[in-house]
Structure 1
Amino acid sequence: MMAFIEQEANEKAEEIDAKAEEEFNIEKGRLVQQQRLKIMEYYEKKEKQVELQKKIQSSNMLNQARLKVLKVREDHVSNVLDDARKRLGEVTKNEGEYKAVVTKLIVQGLFQVMEPKVTLRCRQVDVSLIRDILPQAVEQYKAQMKQNVDLIIDETNFLSADTCGGVELLALNGRIKVRSTPHYISTPLY
């Protein structure tokens, strides 16, 4: 009888051992799966961070390239404007050519102002030249716009002597101002 009890106890122990090992394997599998998911999530996060860093770096490089292009463009425009100022400064030395340019500037300015009474400012050294061309500029404006304009030279306020020439037109007590000087010319002269 003792052998029977002992055998039954051994079978029960084996059963308990088998069940414990099965539960251990199930728990071990569950823990391994949990850790595997955590590791996968961790590496997915890392992958997303790397992707984001790549996008940020790519965007920064693209912005730097755009800034370089803008800088080159700005330098080119600045060089063109400097060259135009130098050329305009040379034009003022040739009186006939300068008269033609200033006449066009005055007429263009009148088209922009479109007021019946306009005050014109120029450099002090250009006053006599402006007096000579004023009737011609007014006639060109009248012929094209079919309206009169009273154009008066301001002989108290002049453009700065260090400008290369050009004119400034004012109307409505200075509320409308059109500058056609080398620093402000925005429309083609020809």
Structure 2
Amino acid sequence: MALSDADVQKQIKHMMAFIEQEANEKAEEIDAKDLLNEAKQRLSKVVKDATRYQVLLDGLVLQGLYQLLEPRMIVRCRKQDFPLVKIDQEAYLPEEIAGGVEIYNGDRKIKVSNTLESRLDLIAQQLTFSD
């Protein structure tokens, strides 16, 4: 059973539309990755503006506290952020992260990660799932 010219043309158009859709999705994925990489590079600039970073850090701590709602909590930050946070003096976040805080309940079984990287990752996940 041979296909008619019209059927062949219809299948070709269908395949071309599929290929075009796949190419567009791949281009969007590449654009999103480039955008996220650029955003990660810009995180270090956020902490250089002391006033803006203090407001951001206060908000990250407060949000983490509200998320846990525990009677006893532990807040962890980078060592260089300690003067801004003034809480946990025993353990610090790694120096290679851009900034932010981690908040734990009293027995450290529950953690809220409010580092700048984790917030950016959350945005990236939301972008990925919204497609």
TM-score if structure 1 supplies the norm length?
Answer: 0.51
CA RMSD for the aligned pairs? Answer: 3.0
- Deviation beyond 6 Å, 4+ runs, structure 1: none
Query: C-alpha separation between the residues in 2 aligned to 1:71 and 1:156?
Result: 46
Query: C-alpha separation between the residues in 2 aligned to 1:88 and 1:119?
Result: 24
Q: Tell me the matched-pair count.
A: 120
The DSSP-based 3-state class of the residue aligned with 2:25 is helix
Query: C-alpha separation between the residues in 1 aligned to 2:107 and 2:11?
Result: 56
Of 51, 58, 62, the residue aligned with 2:14 is: 58
Query: C-alpha separation between the residues in 2 aligned to 1:76 and 1:114?
Result: 38
Of 23, 30, 47, the residue aligned with 1:92 is: 47
Whether 1:110 aligns to 2:51 is: no
Cα deviation code 1:30-77 (max 9, x no counterpart): xxxxxxxxxxxxxxx2229x959x649835751x43333333323333
**1:126 CA drift (Å):** 1.2
Larger Rg: 1
Contact 2:68/2:105 (8 A) holds in 1: yes
Residue 179 (structure 1) aligns with: 113
Identical counterparts, % of pairs: 28
Gaps of 5+ in 2: 124-131
TM-score if structure 2 supplies the norm length?
Answer: 0.69
**1:94 CA drift (Å):** 2.0
Gaps of 5+ in 1: 1-44, 132-151
Query: C-alpha separation between the residues in 1 aligned to 2:81 and 2:50?
Result: 10
Contact 2:73/2:103 (8 A) holds in 1: yes
